[in-house]
Structure 1
Amino acid sequence: MLLLRRHLLPLHRAASSLPSPIYHRAWLLSISTSTSTAPFSLEDYLVAACGLPAAQARKTAKKAFDESARCNKKAFEEHCKSRLKSASNPDAVLALLYGIGLSSADIADVIAADPLLLRASPKNIGPRLLALRDRLGLSTPQIARFLLIGSRALRCCDVGPKLEFFISFFGSFEQLLAIMKKNSGHILLGNVERVINPNIALLRQWGLSVRDIAQLCSRNSRLLIFSPKRVKECLLCAEELGVPRSSRMFKYVVSVVSNITKEKVAPKLKFLKSTLGCSESEVAIAVSKMPSILPLSEELLLRKIHFLIKEVGMEPQYIVERPVLLAHSLEKRLLPRHCVMKVLQAKGLLSSKMGFYTLVQIGEKTFKLKYIDCHTDSVPGLADAYAADSSGFVPSGNKFEHLKMFQSFSLDGVSATHVH
């Protein structure tokens, strides 16, 4: 009896403020999981108490121990591990989750996403969970969706004030949730007063409006939690590329350069200059038009440039003036569309004056409608060949074999050597 009381006392304290039906449910759960004389097994607990299938429980338990091993604060880690040596702490956490209205299915999903939530301090996360509902007014489904991404932040800090700040900054809870999904909720780990607000002030000093900053950080929210020194380096780098602060492209360039180190920008510009045989100013203009080409590897850029020059027949200067060509996927867009263009031209179904650049710029839906679907009768098999090769799932070594074979055997009297 004393043993049972010792197991249930932490749960009673954590759940004392909850409605009696919720507490009763958690109490029954605790009896079923806490009174066993066998050593505590997180894997077994995930099955019995959280409802995870055995295979998922095994994977989730391993994830919990792997993440624990990465912690550098040894004393703190040992303290946290002690909360997973019995069912007492996990039971209290589950009681809190049930207490704010989450269903068994919701809780299973949340724990599978972040098993370390089971070792969190109930006295810390309890008020934070209640604040999501009572202070922020989030619905139960919204809380469940938030925890799938933001439970780590919930464990680490008081997320309520940060959520209020970011919901106001980005315009809505849904928009914030979409942004959190891009960086696994790391944006909530930044210090608003010491880091985020100074970064916003710095960006405004460089001519960006609050709306510009919100749009910029919607694409790359990590920029807000960088050190102000690093943010300033990104701003200077964007300006050094020749993009004026007043340009609408400035914020896009800042977003791109924030994802790469300053040391990598200069060599990339030098590479483009030498490969395309153009001046520094021309490269800078090209990058300012299409900054997304900067993070691409030199190997990938070289493959695209080689294809456009050798296979399509473009002049280097033409590519420099249209840098968006280098931003398109070689495998999913450039090569498949070039194959389709050559097939249709050889069949007399497409004017020989049609430029490849024009064909590349057309949206996928329109391209398929105008150049694939309408030729299903006159060019049987083209749709299947294009779908197979533009999907990006063709096994390595067999890329574009569908279209190449199609070109070889479907053209009436046209030699495959004339079709690249």
Structure 2
Amino acid sequence: MLRLRSCVLSHLLSSPTTSPILSLHRLLSASAAAAPAVSLNPSSFAVEEYLVATCGLTRAQALKASAKLSHLKSPANPDAVLAFLAGLGLSGADVAALVAKDPRFLCAGVERTLAPVVAGLTGLGLSPCDISRLVSLAPNEFRHRSVVSKLDYLLPLFGSFGNLLRPLKHGTSIIGSDLERVVKPNVKLVAECGLGACDIAKLFIRDPWMLSAKPGRLLAMVACAEGIGVPRGSGMFRQALHAVACLSSAEKIAAKVEQLKKALRWSDADVGIAVCKWPTVLWWSTDVLQHKSEFLISKVGLEPAHIAHRPVMLGLSLEGRLKPRYYVMRFLQENGLLNHGRDYYNMVVASDKVFVNKFICPHKQAAPHLAQDYAAACKGEVPTRFRFT
């Protein structure tokens, strides 16, 4: 009988229908028609064998999962769950991964829990494909009917189902957090810091743990962000929260500040200005920042304080932007095609399209090879015409 059931379920998993209930009915009908006289002996149900033969788990996975299913005395409910999953469109491999991840999913009630959850999520606008992805990523949460009310709140918060999936793919169970005691207070706190809906979504997509953190911990992160000189309501406050989250403690932040002072030749005041304007400077590699700073100081001729007031330059690619545009600036200056007072900063922060239109295209006749040389420089080459003494 186990082999028969395995064959029937395997067929369902390899050829899923669009209706979980229809799949379930087909399973029961096929089983009854094929073996009407067989009576299962509950005491003979071998969970481990079922997980291997019917669910597709490896022997090692089945041994581990069976410990959580020792109370099962019959395959009736697992059969119903597998048929339901097939109806959602999950493949055999998907089901095996889900059961290995959350063996207790096989104990969920189809009519009592799973079907109402699917109906509720459909009512929120999720497609069958969305629902199947959700159950694969968060099976434990999916087998609780409260997941519907949680997604009803989280979907508008994240802006789209795709945005909500991004942290789930990395194993962050944001939909497993208590909505009233954790999630909503955290959202309220960051909103009180001046973050709008778009910034809130970006913050929690990038740092989803903040959404499920204890409110006291998030409050400490807010205080830390203010402590580095970025006030609430600042347009940089989201980036400041992310920066302090990456460093995780006041001690690490203080150590980072000292590294920046040494590597970039900055004073305390310079660091304060740079962090307030671009908090991301705190979590960038000090070595990478130093290489860029050395180029900007020794080659371009900028003062450390000048860089501190325009720290976003440090976030630009050294080889792909800072150097090639410096070469173009020097070439134009050396050939009398550019005023020596032209601000290098404005040249490097311009989009590629704007830069080309403003500094390359107007000189096609006077410097016909400029576009070609600039393209080569962006690839790491230094054309002969860009070699200055």
Length-normalised TM-score, structure 2: 0.71
Report deviation, 1:144.
Answer: 1.7
Q: Quick check: 139-148 or 195-204, which moved more? A: 139-148
1:181 aligns with 2:166: yes
1:240 and 2:227 matched: yes
For 1:116, the equivalent position in structure 2 comes to: 97
Residue 26 of structure 1 deviates from its aligned partner by 10
Residue 291 of structure 1: which of 265, 276, 279 is its match? Answer: 279
Identify the residue that residue 314 of structure 2 maps to in structure 1.
326
CA positional deviation for 1:168? 3.1
Q: Is the 8 A contact 2:23 2:86 kept in 1?
A: no
1:33 aligned partner:
none
For the 8 Å contact 2:236–2:276, the answer to whether it is kept is yes
CA distance in 2, matches of 1:334, 1:159: 53
Deviation at 1:314, TM superposition (A): 0.5
Partner of 2:153: 168
Q: d(CA) in 2 for partners of 1:150 and 1:10?
A: 19
1:35-46 matches, within 5 Å, as none
* Stretch moving more, 135-144 or 216-225: 135-144
1:228 aligns with 2:215: yes
CA contact (8 A) 2:222 2:241 kept: yes
Aligned counterpart, 1:153: 138
Deviates more, 1:305-314 or 1:160-169: 160-169
Equivalent residue number for residue 186 of structure 2: 199
Distance 1:295 1:128, change over 3 A: farther
Alpha-carbon offset, residue 322 of structure 1: 1.0
* Displacement after TM superposition at 1:331 (Å): 3.1
Q: Does 1:253 align with 2:237?
A: no
Q: Which residue pairs with 2:388 in the alignment?
A: 417
Paired position in structure 2 for 1:354: 342
Fraction of identical pairs, as percent: 30
8 Å contact from structure 2 (residues 99, 106) kept in 1: no
Q: Deviations over 1:172-211 (max 9, x none)?
A: 776242243155262224333443234335445x544674
Q: Distance between the aligned counterparts of 1:131 and 1:379, measured in 2?
A: 70
C-alpha separation in 2, matches of 1:111 and 1:387? 47
The alignment's C-alpha RMSD in Å is 4.6
CA separation of 1:8 and 1:172: change in aligned 2, threshold 3 A:
farther
- Equivalent of 2:301, from 290, 308, 313? 313
What secondary structure, in the 3-state scheme, does the structure 1 residue paired with 2:354 have? helix
Offset, 1:140? 9.3
Amino acid at match of 2:310: R
1:261 deviates by: 1.6
Q: Any idea what the Cα deviations from partners look like across 1:275-295, whole Å, max 9, x if unmatched?
A: 444432431221011011111
Give me the whole-angstrom Cα distance separating, in 2, the residues matched to 1:370 and 1:26.
Answer: 72
Structure 1 partner of 2:260: 272
Counterparts of 2:375 and 2:7, CA distance in 1: 60
User: For structure 1, which segment, 363-372 or 87-96, has the greater mean C-alpha deviation from structure 2 after superposition?
Assistant: 87-96
CA contact (8 A) 1:10 1:89 kept: no
State the alpha-carbon separation in 1 of the partners of residues 175 and 325 from structure 2. 42
CA 1:275–1:177: 2 relative to 1, 3 Å: same
Write out per-residue CA displacement over residues 281-311 of structure 1, whole angstroms, 9 at most, x where no aligned residue: 4312210110111110111111111111011
343, 348, 352: which one aligns with 1:364: 352
Give the gaps of 5 or more residues in structure 1.
30-38, 47-60, 70-74, 395-399
**What stretches of structure 2 of length at least 5 have no aligned partner?**
32-48
Map 1:18-167; keep pairs closer than 5 Å: 18-20=20-22, 23-24=25-26, 77-79=65-67, 95-100=83-88, 102=89, 107-108=90-91, 111=93, 115-119=96-100, 120=103, 121-124=105-108, 126=110, 130-137=115-122, 142-145=127-130, 147-148=132-133, 151-158=136-143, 161-162=146-147, 164-167=149-152
Aligned residues: 356
Whether contact under 8 Å (2:138, 2:168) holds in the other structure is no
8 A contact 1:170–1:176 mirrored in 2: yes
Larger radius of gyration: 2
Q: Is the CA contact 2:8–2:30 (under 8 Å) kept in the aligned structure 1?
A: no
**Aligned partners of 2:195 and 2:238 also within 8 Å:** no
Correspondence for 2:42: none
- 8 Å contact kept, 1:290–1:327: no
CA 1:156–1:386 in structure 2 vs 1: closer, same or farther (change >3 Å)? farther
> 1:234-286: CA deviations, max 9, x gaps?
11211111222243433331232122221321111122223444432431221
Instruction: Give me the whole-angstrom Cα distance separating, in 1, the residues matched to 2:221 and 2:181.
Output: 19
